């Protein structure tokens, strides 16, 4: 009896240690990611030239979208590993935002690639929809499309109207809320179709700009930069598509290693959901020369501002008015 008690205590302590390690891994990375995003958005808000360029407006919308996705997914991750159960009616909005932002990322990447295409081939006669004061319409359309698919997915699963969503409690993750096979099939079909269409758009845009680079004798530098930018969008899309490899990696890990199921789920979540979302906007943001220069100026000027404020505070204390 005492041996059984010791085994249960050891299992509980190992589980608590595993949860603590997971939180310590995810927490600092999220703080670094959030700090970088806030820094970039603050630069956008402080300098008017970024808000007057369609490319930067689309990039800012991608930053906001990915930040929402990471925040909600990390919150759901912490709630699941802590085994917190609450009403399903409160769970639906969180899963809805997480699904919509996941779907919206490839749409924004495709739009950014098309914006580069328009900027190269129609520099003087830019369509009105792609101007900086009209690009918000395209962004709203993308949000509408990305929010439509989760609504349809949830609606086709409403087969139990007798269940009270605010009195029924459970873990807030997709297997609990969207457990019907038709919902899984619909979600998989929408994701595969969306990412395939976006991949075709990015590939065609890249090839078209690459062919134009060989024809143009002037301004080859800007066209070459646009080609590299579209290629980077393809890499970002590839990072986002790593989430689709989770079922395959789970099967391989189960066959090759004797890991607990919760550790396998965390490994997939960390490698194929969090890391791509952390890297995707940061790579694009720190690659941009103008944005990188403002980030450098911010870090250089920040100690000077702190030093001047401290000096003023000391003078006020020594020579009060």
Cα(29)–Cα(31) distance, integer angstroms: 5
DSSP run (H or E) holding 170: strand 169-171
pLDDT band (50, 70, 90) for residue 312: very low
Task: Decide which of 39 and 289 is more confident.
Answer: 39
With 80 as the cut, is the pLDDT of residue 213 above it? no
Residue 157's SS3 state is coil
Single pTM value for the model: 0.80
Cα(290)–Cα(49) distance, integer angstroms: 10
Cα(190)–Cα(153) distance, integer angstroms: 10
What tens digit of pLDDT does each residue of 75-123 get? 888 888 777 887 777 888 888 998 899 889 889 888 988 888 888 788 7
Written as six digits, the tokens of 102 are: 């996941």
Cα(14)–Cα(110) distance, integer angstroms: 45
Burial of 69 by CB count in 10 Å (0-12 exposed, 13-18 middle, 19+ buried)? buried
What domains lie within the chain, and their CATH numbers? 2-298 (1.20.1070.10)
Lowest mean pLDDT among 13-17, 146-150, 154-158: 13-17
Which pLDDT score, from 0 to 100, does residue 255 have?
A: 60
Which pLDDT score, from 0 to 100, does residue 38 have?
A: 87
Which pLDDT score, from 0 to 100, does residue 246 have?
A: 64
């Amino acid at each position: 009896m005492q041996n059984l008690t010791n085994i249960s205590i050891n299992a509980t302590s190992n589980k608590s240690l595993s949860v603590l390690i997971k939180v310590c891994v995810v927490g600092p990375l999220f703080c670094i990611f959030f700090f970088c995003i806030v820094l970039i958005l603050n630069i956008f808000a402080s300098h008017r030239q970024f808000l007057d360029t369609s490319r930067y407006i689309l990039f800012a919308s991608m930053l906001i979208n990915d930040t929402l996705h990471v925040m909600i997914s990390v919150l759901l991750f912490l709630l699941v590993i802590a085994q917190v159960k609450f009403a399903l009616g409160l769970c639906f909005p969180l899963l809805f935002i997480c699904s919509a932002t996941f779907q919206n990322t490839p749409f924004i990447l495709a739009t950014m690639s098309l914006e580069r295409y328009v900027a190269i081939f129609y520099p003087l006669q830019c369509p009105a929809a792609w101007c900086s004061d009209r690009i918000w319409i395209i962004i709203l359309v993308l949000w509408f499309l990305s929010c439509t698919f989760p609504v349809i997915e949830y609606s086709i699963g409403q087969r139990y109207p007798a269940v009270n969503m605010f009195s029924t409690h459970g873990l807030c993750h997709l297997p609990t809320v969207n457990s019907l096979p038709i919902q899984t099939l619909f979600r998989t079909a929408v994701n595969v179709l969306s990412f395939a269409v976006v991949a075709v758009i990015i590939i065609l845009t890249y090839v078209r700009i690459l062919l134009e680079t060989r024809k143009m004798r002037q301004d080859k530098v800007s066209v070459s930069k646009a080609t590299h930018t579209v290629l980077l969008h393809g890499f970002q899309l590839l990072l986002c598509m790593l989430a689709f490899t989770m079922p395959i990696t789970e099967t391989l890990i189960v066959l090759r290693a004797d890991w607990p199921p919760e550790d396998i789920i965390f490994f997939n979540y960390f490698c194929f959901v969090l890391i791509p979302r952390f890297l995707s906007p940061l790579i694009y943001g720190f690659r941009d020369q103008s944005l990188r220069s403002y980030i450098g100026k911010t870090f250089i000027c920040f100690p000077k501002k702190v030093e001047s404020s401290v000096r003023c505070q000391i003078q006020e204390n020594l020579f009060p008015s």
